[in-house]
Homo-oligomer: A and B are copies of this chain.
């Protein structure tokens, strides 16, 4: 069985956001899968997806702080800054974190760790709701 669906996440401010529930509620078909995989792909190059701790919000705020240190907006060698200082830095952060996630499915649920959640990483100061394509392969 292959199911594919495109959804638009609610717009988020810059930072790292827990979106597990927003994603899962869009694909109730997951409940039908005994064994399989869930693929989530973001159709943008200045936002990304990652899996990390789902509990303490300081993980998300520390992530935002540290990624802005390793990809600093005041670096003087960036040329691609037409849309502002967060233009090129957002592209780099997107590639460091990645554009898709692949998660095992089992007995109608995500087979992830107790402390794991899906993050939308929004790297732009202002962005519309991000489009993601969800593909389920399973039986």
Contact = CB atoms under 8 A, between A and B. Distances in A.
Interface of A: 2-4, 6, 35-37, 39, 41, 43-45, 50-53, 56, 58-59, 61-63, 65-66, 69-71, 75, 77-80, 88, 91-92, 94-104, 106, 111-113, 115-116, 119, 131, 133, 135, 137-139
B45 A51 contact: yes
Nearest to A95: B50
Most-contacted residue by chain B among A3, A6, A44, A106 (CB, 10 A): A44
Given A79-B61, A104-B135, A112-B43, A96 B96 contact: yes
Given A2-B139, A43-B116, A63 B95 contact: yes
A99 to B, nearest CB: 5
What is the interface of chain A mostly: helix, strand, loop, or mixed? mixed
Contacts of A103: 41, 100
19 contacts: A2-B139, A4-B35, A6-B111, A37-B135, A41-B111, A43-B112, A45-B51, A45-B113, A51-B99, A52-B94, A53-B91, A58-B80, A62-B79, A63-B95, A66-B78, A98-B98, A99-B116, A100-B103, A102-B102
A39 to B, nearest CB: 6
What is the total number of copies of this protein in its complex? 3
